[in-house]
């Protein structure tokens, strides 16, 4: 009896602590029994602090956000404001303002990176564990895999699932609302260690990934756009996403150059055409609520202190609604590593805020090697910067306005009713797990399949031999980086075992090879594009000894030079599986045994290793650099002999053939009043330039479109999904232009033996625009080409463009 009573009392206490009626701050996990509120403006919470909420206008939900934010900031002392400039804010108890931790990550599922997202731990359970304990979350395939699907619906669905799990964690006091994902830097060089985190090498594809993932993370149904005449800074958000790392960041640690000291020398054309493009799309089309600036310098100036990159471009030109955050410790890096202008901590802090930085990510909860706590730079030096007259307090007010407006939109102050019931039951749901499996399958790319070796008929084969270092790849390999503990985790071996037995004398061998995060990861670029030497030797040995050709499955983020396997008749099939996440073993096995017909296409060029010796990673140019003999980069500027598998390469268990019902078309663009013709560089062989070589798309209405249908014929006996990728090629006589560029893509399912029409409508300015030498985006006159191609089929038609001046 007594023990029953005791238990009841505990239950009563536990429920008390888990309600809002308490005095602690939000998400304060330093308390013995952390308190959970889902909103700041809770009258009982204020009462617990000895405050009367009605006296705080910032909690008056009937007022516009702008007024509420102004009220809040107006009440804060300068010290309190400075305390809000780091990612782990101080809050201000006297104002009812709790601590907020900004830093959460969700690259391809909730991640434990950063101080905010806290999974319960089986070893040392938190006091608030028990029934509400959350140990795991859905780990989707890494972004490079998802990119290979070229399926925008998938990208958005992943964002939606992740944000649901995020909001559930927030409700339980185990997570935040602001997520510093996605990573949308273009993979300029195949050695980059973070290729796995990104959607690949094409700026347009990367941009579309960003837009879809961000919309999945942020959009609340019915609030995808701001109503006419409305204020976009009040559009409510499910969670806040962040496009990073801006700008020209794609080198981590190569030959003694690190991202902390690298000065990316970038010309303006490459900025517009490649490095900024995905960010522009993310802000303009995704309406993202945050952008993160990077560690590196761009043409001498640290990215986080460049007013032109931040205020002028992101806010001014693109119209960001949200806040700009620094990569973690990027402000410290200005002083300590770039030793930029000899600036002190206070000077770097002032420069960053004046350039448009709103928040400093630091690593304030960590200690340095001497055991002293690290401090966010802005919170450490902010007061000195103000006191020494290097920074106006109103500059800090601007930063806080951007921060708190974002939090208002997230319902941090008032809650968002439709998400308040999300909880543990919404994490690791069957729906999310099957999306993870479906996504992982969609991202697998079939690179070789001699004599239709794949798919294996499980019944006929009966048993297989599995070999290689990744047969039992641990979750650290399968999940890649920026993850939490997965809900479910299936190794390649476990996946295969569901279909067949293992037997040592089986005639069929599947080799699971590749690389891992020891070789490619944040902070670590690759030395070469090869497999570890002994692995290559082992694969060749296993293939030679096998009675039948073997199947090679590669796990990696970046491309691997598997030249040794391409034409080796004993290696019958090659699959690239990226780092496919928690469901990866099932996804790979479903492809091998034909439960899923692979449709992925490479989102980046797989180069032969020789390529990397032709140019240093530090050369930022996309186009060939004649004076140094450097070749061009990515499929847009390189089509030389060192390509093993090109961008967009990918086979299927069927053949998809294209037909196009047009022989070509012509468009005449009216040059809007005051518009002028722009010059273009022509190839030396061109004797005379046209009267009007090109027009600047800025200032044009640009409403003209070209519509066409691609009929996709499935010339086989299996249905399958196929991404149709549309390229355009500029007129042949234009010098220095991309060889071709992606302008549209759509993934479609085509049943066996059927034909599906895919319709495209291209905006003429966007699809045929190129960036000329002086960095204008122009439409060239002359004959451009629309090109749709895959391994088996290629169709194209000319588009003659002229201008009526």
Ligand X SMILES: *[C@@H]1O[C@H](CO)[C@@H](O)[C@H](O)[C@H]1NC(C)=O
Is 469 one of the binding residues for ligand X (CB under 6 A)? yes
Q: Name the minimum Å distance from CB 402 to ligand X.
A: 28
d(CA 542, CA 481): 30
- The piece of 190-198, 531-539, 646-654, 732-740 that touches ligand X (CB under 6 A) is 531-539
Is 668 one of the binding residues for ligand X (CB under 6 A)? no
Half-sphere exposure of 439 (CA within 13 A, CB side): 32
Comparison of 375 and 689: residue with beta carbon closer to ligand X? 375
Nearest CA-CA partner of 156 in 764, 712, 747, 749: 747
Annotated active-site residue in 263, 327, 329, 358: 327
**Residue 767 burial (C-beta neighbours within 10 Å; 0-12, 13-18, 19+):** buried
**What is the signed CA dihedral for 299, 300, 303, 308, rounded to 10 degrees?**
-70
- The piece of 24-32, 354-362, 682-690, 743-751 that touches ligand X (CB under 6 A) is 743-751
- The piece of 206-214, 494-502, 629-637, 745-753 that touches ligand X (CB under 6 A) is 745-753
Comparison of 319 and 373: residue with beta carbon closer to ligand X? 373
Nearest CA-CA partner of 296 in 319, 265, 264, 255: 264
Is 662 one of the binding residues for ligand X (CB under 6 A)? yes
Is 438 one of the binding residues for ligand X (CB under 6 A)? yes
Binder of ligand X out of 373, 474, 640, 753 (CB under 6 A): 373
**Longest C-alpha distance within the chain, in Å?**
101
Cβ-contact 728, 786 below 8 angstroms: yes
Binder of ligand X out of 661, 699, 751, 753 (CB under 6 A): 661
Q: Name the minimum Å distance from CB 786 to ligand X.
A: 12
Comparison of 4 and 505: residue with beta carbon closer to ligand X? 505
d(CA 671, CA 679): 15
Is 704 one of the binding residues for ligand X (CB under 6 A)? no
Nearest CA-CA partner of 188 in 179, 200, 197, 180: 200
Binder of ligand X out of 130, 707, 751, 753 (CB under 6 A): 707
Is 157 one of the binding residues for ligand X (CB under 6 A)? yes
Comparison of 89 and 508: residue with beta carbon closer to ligand X? 508
Binder of ligand X out of 423, 532, 631, 798 (CB under 6 A): 532
Is 757 one of the binding residues for ligand X (CB under 6 A)? yes
Which residues ranging from 539 to 558 are in contact with ligand X (CB under 6 A)?
Answer: 547
- Enumerate helices (H) and strands (E) in the chain, giving the number of each: 22, 28
For residue 335, report the phi and psi dihedrals to the nearest 5 degrees: -80, -50
Cβ-contact 577, 437 below 8 angstroms: no
Binder of ligand X out of 711, 763, 785, 796 (CB under 6 A): 711
Q: Site size for ligand X, by CB under 6 A?
A: 57
Beta bridge partners of 511: 467, 552
d(CA 192, CA 40): 42
Beta bridge partners of 710: 660, 758
Q: Name the minimum Å distance from CB 535 to ligand X.
A: 4
Task: Say whether 327 is catalytic.
Answer: yes
Q: Which two tokens stand for residue 546?
A: 């096998």
Binder of ligand X out of 494, 563, 705, 785 (CB under 6 A): 563
Q: Name the minimum Å distance from CB 112 to ligand X.
A: 9
Comparison of 370 and 717: residue with beta carbon closer to ligand X? 370
Comparison of 14 and 133: residue with beta carbon closer to ligand X? 133
Binder of ligand X out of 371, 389, 629, 674 (CB under 6 A): 371
d(CA 643, CA 352): 41
d(CA 653, CA 651): 7
Nearest CA-CA partner of 204 in 799, 692, 534, 603: 603
Q: Name the minimum Å distance from CB 260 to ligand X.
A: 4
Residue whose C-beta lies closest to ligand X: 661
Cβ-contact 526, 187 below 8 angstroms: no
Comparison of 356 and 485: residue with beta carbon closer to ligand X? 485
Binder of ligand X out of 29, 336, 414, 736 (CB under 6 A): 336
Q: What angle do CA 446, 448, 453 make, to 5 degrees?
A: 95
Which residues ranging from 491 to 520 are in contact with ligand X (CB under 6 A)?
Answer: 506-507
Cβ-contact 611, 642 below 8 angstroms: yes
Is 751 one of the binding residues for ligand X (CB under 6 A)? no
- The piece of 205-213, 293-301, 657-665, 729-737 that touches ligand X (CB under 6 A) is 657-665
For the chain, the distance separating the N- and C-terminal CA atoms, rounded to the nearest angstrom, is 94
Q: Which two tokens stand for residue 520?
A: 């490619």
Q: What is the DSSP string of 221-240?
A: TT-SSPPTT--GGG---SSB
Is 759 one of the binding residues for ligand X (CB under 6 A)? yes
Which residues neighbour 680 within 8 Å (Cβ) at sequence distance 6 or greater? 689, 693, 694, 734, 735, 772, 778, 780
Which residues ranging from 763 to 802 are in contact with ligand X (CB under 6 A)?
Answer: none
Is 54 one of the binding residues for ligand X (CB under 6 A)? yes
Q: Name the minimum Å distance from CB 784 to ligand X.
A: 18
Comparison of 69 and 447: residue with beta carbon closer to ligand X? 447
Number of Cβ within a 10 Å radius of residue 332: 25
Nearest CA-CA partner of 198 in 138, 165, 243, 257: 243
Which residues ranging from 72 to 131 are in contact with ligand X (CB under 6 A)?
Answer: 119, 121-122
Task: Give the residue numbers marked as catalytic.
Answer: 327
Positions touching ligand X (CB under 6 A) are: 52, 54-55, 119, 121-122, 135-136, 151, 153-154, 157, 255-256, 258, 260-261, 336-337, 366-367, 371, 373, 435, 438-439, 463, 469, 475, 485-486, 488-489, 506-507, 532, 534-535, 538, 547, 563, 566-567, 659, 661-663, 707-709, 711, 721, 747-749, 757, 759
């Amino acid at each position: 009896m007594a023990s029953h009573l005791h238990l009841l009392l505990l239950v009563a206490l536990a429920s008390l602590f888990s309600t809002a009626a308490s005095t602690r701050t939000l998400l304060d996990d330093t308390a013995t029994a952390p308190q959970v509120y889902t909103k700041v403006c809770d009258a009982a919470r204020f009462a617990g602090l000895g405050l009367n909420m009605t006296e705080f206008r910032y909690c008056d939900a009937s007022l516009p956000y702008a007024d509420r934010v102004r009220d809040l900031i107006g009440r804060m002392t300068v010290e309190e404001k400075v305390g809000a400039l780091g990612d782990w804010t101080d809050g201000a108890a006297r104002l009812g303002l709790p601590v907020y931790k900004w830093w959460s990550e969700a690259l391809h599922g909730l991640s434990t990176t950063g101080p905010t997202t806290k999974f319960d731990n089986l070893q040392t359970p938190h006091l608030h564990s028990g029934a509400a304990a959350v140990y795991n979350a859905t780990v989707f395939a890494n972004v490079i895999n998802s990119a290979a699907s070229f399926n925008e619906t998938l990208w958005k669905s992943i964002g939606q699932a992740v944000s649901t799990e995020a909001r559930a964690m927030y409700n339980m006091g185990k997570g935040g609302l602001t997520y510093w994902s996605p990573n949308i830097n273009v993979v300029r060089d195949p050695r980059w260690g973070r290729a796995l985190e990104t959607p690949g090498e094409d700026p347009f594809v990367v941009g579309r990934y960003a837009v879809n993932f961000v919309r999945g993370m942020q959009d609340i149904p019915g609030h995808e756009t701001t109503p006419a005449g409305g204020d976009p800074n009040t559009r409510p958000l499910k969670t806040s996403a962040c496009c990073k790392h801006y700008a020209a960041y794609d080198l981590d640690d190569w030959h003694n150059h690190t991202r902390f000291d690298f000065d990316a020398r970038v010309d303006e054309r490459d900025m517009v055409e490649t490095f900024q493009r995905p960010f522009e799309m993310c802000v303009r089309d995704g309406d993202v609520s945050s952008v993160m600036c990077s560690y590196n310098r761009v043409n001498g100036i640290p990215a986080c202190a460049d007013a032109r990159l931040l205020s002028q471009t992101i806010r001014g030109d693109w119209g960001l609604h949200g806040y700009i955050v620094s990569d973690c410790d990027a402000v410290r890096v200005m002083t300590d590593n770039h030793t930029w202008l000899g600036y002190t901590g206070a000077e770097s802090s002032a420069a960053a805020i004046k350039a448009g930085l709103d928040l400093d990510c630091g690593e304030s909860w960590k200690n340095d090697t001497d055991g002293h706590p690290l401090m966010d730079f802005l919170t450490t030096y902010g007061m000195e910067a103000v006191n020494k007259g290097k920074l106006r307090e109103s500059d800090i007010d601007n930063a806080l306005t951007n921060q708190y407006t974002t939090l208002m939109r997230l319902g941090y102050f008032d809650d968002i009713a439709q998400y308040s019931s999300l909880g543990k039951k919404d994490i690791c749901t069957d729906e999310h797990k099957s999306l993870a499996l479906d996504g992982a399958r969609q991202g697998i790319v079939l690179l070789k399949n001699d004599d239709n070796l794949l798919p294996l008929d499980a019944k006929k084969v009966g048993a297989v031999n599995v070999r290689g270092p990744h047969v039992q790849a641990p979750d650290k390999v399968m999940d890649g980086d920026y993850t939490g503990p997965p809900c479910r985790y299936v190794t390649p071996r476990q996946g295969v075992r569901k279909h067949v037995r293992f037997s040592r004398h089986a005639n069929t061998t599947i080799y699971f090879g590749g690389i891992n995060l020891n070789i490619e990861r944040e902070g670590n670029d690759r030395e070469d594009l090869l497999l570890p030497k002994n692995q290559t030797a082992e694969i060749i040995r296993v293939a030679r000894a096998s009675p039948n050709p073997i199947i090679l499955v590669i796990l990696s983020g970046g491309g691997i030079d598997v030249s040794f396997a391409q034409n080796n008749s004993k290696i019958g099939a090659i699959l690239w599986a990226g780092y496919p996440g928690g469901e990866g073993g099932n996804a790979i096995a479903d492809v091998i045994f034909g439960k899923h017909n692979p449709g992925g296409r490479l989102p980046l060029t797989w180069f032969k290793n020789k390529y990397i010796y032709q140019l240093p990673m530090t050369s930022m140019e996309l186009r060939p650099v004649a004076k140094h003999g450097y070749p061009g980069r990515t499929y847009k500027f390189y089509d030389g002999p060192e390509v093993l598998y090109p961008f967009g390469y990918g086979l299927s268990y069927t053949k998809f053939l294209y037909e196009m019902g047009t022989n070509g078309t012509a468009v005449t663009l009216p040059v809007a009043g005051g518009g002028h013709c722009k010059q273009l560089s022509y190839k030396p062989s061109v004797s005379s330039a046209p009267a009007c070589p090109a027009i600047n798309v800025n200032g044009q209405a640009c409403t003209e479109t070209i519509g066409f249908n691609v009929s996709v014929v499935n010339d086989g006996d299996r249905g399958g999904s196929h991404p149709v990728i549309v390229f355009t090629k500029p007129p042949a006589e234009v010098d220095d232009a991309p060889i071709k560029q992606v302008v549209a893509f759509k993934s479609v399912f085509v049943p066996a033996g059927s034909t599906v029409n895919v319709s495209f409508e291209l905006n003429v300015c966007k699809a045929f625009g190129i960036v000329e030498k002086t960095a204008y985006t122009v439409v060239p006159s002359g004959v451009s080409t629309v090109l749709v191609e895959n391994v088996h089929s290629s169709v194209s038609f000319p588009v003659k463009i002229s201008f009526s001046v």
